């Protein structure tokens, strides 16, 4: 009897913990030192990019590295100005240190999040070097799954916006932590796993 009660309580705890991760705040699973592992497809090449959270206060700092065949590494720093008001998304990681003031990466800016709320739309710079701007809107809500501690049944509450064609941005529907979980531009990026 005691063994059955223990098993029942353990099962209930695991269910509640899984529910909280699936429907909780991303800050509960993404902290300093967390590794966000994304699958990337760029010009027909597929590889992983791992992003390590080094600072998530007023400025965000990330170390990143790419697997073969891309083989790159560096750091990205999002300034407070970028976190608040960026209207562009970094389209290419380059080796070394990158400081962003008018583009965001890994997270949407607060300006983007606010503009895209409800049925809003916004012109976003998708390639700064080529001065390519695209209007995103047509948002819909859904859940997006990801792995955490070898459990791939976790979900974030997300929103996806598109340009009416193939370009899409999917992000966590949380004004304080709008993590980008999937991008489809001229290249694609999708979060697959979070590690401590």
What is the helix (H) or strand (E) element at residue 115, kind and residue range? helix 110-116
* 107 CB-contact burial (10 Å; exposed 0-12 / middle 13-18 / buried 19+): buried
Confidence grade of residue 118 (pLDDT, cut at 50, 70, 90): confident
CA dihedral of residues 44, 164, 129, 92 (deg, nearest 10): -40
50-89 pLDDT, tens digit each:
999 998 877 899 999 999 988 999 999 999 999 999 999 9
Q: pTM for the whole thing?
A: 0.84
Confidence of residue 91 (pLDDT cuts 50, 70, 90): confident
pLDDT tens-digit readout, 133-152: 999 999 999 999 999 877 88
Q: Give the residue among 174, 173, 171 at the shortest CA–CA distance from 182.
A: 171
Give Cα separations from 45 to 70, 71, 98, 168, 178 (angstroms): 8, 12, 23, 20, 27
DSSP state of 5: H
With 80 as the cut, is the pLDDT of residue 12 above it?
Answer: no
Average pLDDT over residues 16-20: 36
pLDDT the model gives residue 5: 32
Per-residue CA distances from 138 to 34, 78, 159 (Å): 32, 27, 10
């Amino acid at each position: 009897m005691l063994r059955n009660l223990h098993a029942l309580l353990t099962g209930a705890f695991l269910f509640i913990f899984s529910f909280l991760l699936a429907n909780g705040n991303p800050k509960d699973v993404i902290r300093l030192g967390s590794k966000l592992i994304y699958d990337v497809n760029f010009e027909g090449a597929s590889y992983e990019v791992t992003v390590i959270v080094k600072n998530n206060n007023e400025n965000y700092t990330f170390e990143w590295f790419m697997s073969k065949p891309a083989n790159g590494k560096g750091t990205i720093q999002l300034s407070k100005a970028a976190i608040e008001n960026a209207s562009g998304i970094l389209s290419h990681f380059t080796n070394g240190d990158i400081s962003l003031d008018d583009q965001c990466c890994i997270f949407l800016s607060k300006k983007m999040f606010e503009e895209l709320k409800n049925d809003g739309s916004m012109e976003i710079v998708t390639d700064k070097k080529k001065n390519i701007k695209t209007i995103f809107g047509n948002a819909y809500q859904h859940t997006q799954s990801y792995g955490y501690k070898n459990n791939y049944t976790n979900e974030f509450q997300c929103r996806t916006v598109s340009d009416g064609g193939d370009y899409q941005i999917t992000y966590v529907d949380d004004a304080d932590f709008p993590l980008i979980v999937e991008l489809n531009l001229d290249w694609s990026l999708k979060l697959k796993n979070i590690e401590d």
